[in-house]
């Protein structure tokens, strides 16, 4: 009788253990990126053919380049970008606000007082008096 209960307990243990194997095969651990291991040592990508764009009035050519997006390197082909240098040049940052030049530049000190930029505001003899 003792032998029979021992054998039954052994079969029950084997049945429980064998039932747990399919569950452990679908477990999230260990999370191994097998595609990464398969591609180790291979070049990431072939460099695409670089096409030089012809100059275009009012545009700047941005050459083709790689950009990082998330965790991947993506090839961005050459493209035209509108040349807005003059518009950006007239934008001045005055601390908390941004103003756009519509006339002469007004320079202010740290207290907000206007600093004159005309030479007439500083006579030559003013420092001697």
* pLDDT score for 22: 59
Q: Could you read off the pLDDT of 6-41 as tens digits, one per residue?
A: 788 777 787 777 766 655 556 566 666 777 777 777
Any idea which residue has 């003013």 for tokens? 126
| pLDDT-derived band at 129, boundaries 50, 70, 90 | low
| pLDDT-derived band at 104, boundaries 50, 70, 90 | low
Locate the domains of the chain by residue range: 85-127
CA geometry: angle at 87 spanning 82 and 92, to 5°?
140
Which residues in 46-113 belong to E strands, given as ranges?
Answer: 59-62, 65-69, 72-76, 79-82, 91-94, 97-100, 107-108
* pLDDT score for 114: 86
Q: Note if the bond before 116 is cis, omega within 30 degrees.
A: no
* pLDDT score for 80: 93
3-state secondary structure of 98: strand
pTM over 0.85: no
Radius of gyration of the chain (CA): 37
- Tabulate helix, strand, coil % of the chain (nearest 5): 30, 25, 45
Percent of the chain having pLDDT more than 70?
Answer: 65
* pLDDT score for 30: 63
Q: Mean pLDDT across the stretch 104-115?
A: 81
């Amino acid at each position: 009788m003792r032998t029979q209960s021992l054998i039954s307990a052994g079969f029950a243990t084997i049945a429980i253990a064998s039932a747990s194997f399919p569950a452990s095969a679908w477990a999230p651990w260990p999370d191994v990126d097998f595609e990464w291991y398969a591609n180790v040592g291979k070049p990431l990508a072939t460099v695409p053919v670089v096409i030089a764009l012809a100059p275009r009035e009012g545009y700047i050519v941005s050459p083709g380049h790689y950009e990082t997006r998330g965790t991947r390197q993506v090839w961005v082909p050459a493209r035209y970008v509108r040349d807005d240098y003059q518009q950006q040049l007239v934008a001045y940052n005055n601390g908390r606000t941004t103003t756009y030049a519509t006339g002469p530049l007004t320079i202010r000190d740290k207290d907000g007082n206007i600093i004159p930029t005309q030479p007439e505001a500083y006579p030559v003899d003013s420092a001697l008096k």
